[in-house]
Amino acid sequence: MSSPSISEICQFIKDDLDAVEKKLREKTASHYDFVDLAVQHVIEGGGKRLRPVLLVLSAKACGYDGEDAHTLAVVVELIHVASLVHDDVLDEAPIRRKRETLHSKWGNKVAVLVGDYLHARVLSMLVARHADDPAMSILSDATQAMCEGEVIHAYKNGDFNISQDDYLKIVGLKTGRLITASCMIGAILGTKDEKIIQALREYGEAVGAAFQIIDDLLDFVADQEKFGKQSFSDLREGKLTFPMIYTREVCTAEERTTLEQVFNADTEPDSAIEWIEALLRRYRTQAHCLGAAQVYADRAKSALAALPDTPAGRALQQLADYVVSRDW
């Protein structure tokens, strides 16, 4: 049986997610028409809202059911959206969440500044809460880690020999840290029990790794329309990701030489895409990535053993599998 979709898993928190959606709109509204237009272009682009979902579920799993979880869910989503707006500038990506990216529509200057604007909204929302709030330090650390991850990734861009270890370190920073922060902040709303908070930290780290491995895989195998992003974009950008690192390691020396030429070519890799697809089939790269992501999903589920049995805890279990089985 296939895993349930994210909306099926989250049906019982629909009211919370609607409240988050409303707050996202309210908290990012600008009095200036064009700022508002550009900001809402990315906010209304939607997405899975994985980080808000993780935060709300983690809070509920730890016994907290109040509105502060909605505020913090908005905060983590805004950090995420801001980072994607900047990431799309760095990656020169034309489409995100089935929409034209902000920089493609209005240029890099607008995109960089809208990212900064969203980040400023995050700071003001956090300051409006209490200054000694642990969410403040968790989120400033996470944002710093995301920037560090992206800097290292940009620095390593074009490195055909990047190791799996380096790759997983980058992923842990750029993707894992905000997902982990979302889980921990939710936990802290409901409990002071360090064992539970650490369990949700472990859960978030493992879900983050599984999420990015599947994100990398979908770049090669997803239906572009459903995925909402351009296919083969990592290859176009000269970014060696999990599927390619694995394939580079297991293929023959001759194939590796051709792969490196495709990877280093200045031209778009369109003509080589069929060859790459055949290579991925030959080495069962998809199955390998699904298996590797599932190991992380299983690790995430094991970490949840420390939590009491609640509907939210069970939804977190299902989400770990969803992250692996998703097709967008």
Near Mg ion by CB under 5 A: residue from 91, 205, 216, 219: 91
Q: Which residue is nearest to Mg ion (CB)?
A: 91
Q: Which does 21 bind (CB under 5 to 8 A by kind): Mg ion, ligand FPP, none?
A: none
Q: Among residues 13 and 73, whose Cβ is nearest to ligand FPP?
A: 73
Burial class, 157, CB count within 10 angstroms (exposed 0-12 / middle 13-18 / buried 19+) = middle
Of the ranges 87-95, 159-167, 256-264, 270-278, which one interacts with Mg ion (CB under 5 A)? 87-95
Near Mg ion by CB under 5 A: residue from 87, 148, 159, 298: 87
Q: Among residues 150 and 321, whose Cβ is nearest to Mg ion?
A: 150
CA-based end-to-end distance of the chain: 19
Q: Among residues 87 and 255, whose Cβ is nearest to Mg ion?
A: 87
Q: Which does 175 bind (CB under 5 to 8 A by kind): ligand FPP, Mg ion, none?
A: ligand FPP
Least distance from C-beta 92 to Mg ion, angstroms? 9
Of the ranges 85-93, 113-121, 196-204, 314-322, which one interacts with Mg ion (CB under 5 A)? 85-93
What is the size of the binding site for Mg ion (CB under 5 A)?
2
d(CA 251, CA 241) in angstroms, rounded, equals: 15
| Residue entry with tokens 């509907």 | 311
| Residue entry with tokens 């360090």 | 194
Binding residues for ligand FPP (CB under 6 A): 79, 82-83, 86-87, 91, 93, 115, 119, 143, 146-147, 150, 174-175, 215, 229
Going 190 to 58 to 139 to 300, the CA torsion angle's sign is positive
Nearest alpha-carbon partner for 146 in 105, 174, 186, 168? 174
| Residue entry with tokens 């690192």 | 245
* Spatial CB neighbours of 307, under 8 Å, sequence gap ≥ 6: 61, 62, 196, 199, 200, 313, 316
Nearest alpha-carbon partner for 9 in 314, 294, 298, 226? 314
Q: Which does 82 bind (CB under 5 to 8 A by kind): Mg ion, ligand FPP, none?
A: ligand FPP
d(CA 223, CA 228) in angstroms, rounded, equals: 9
Residues near Mg ion (CB under 5 A) are: 87, 91
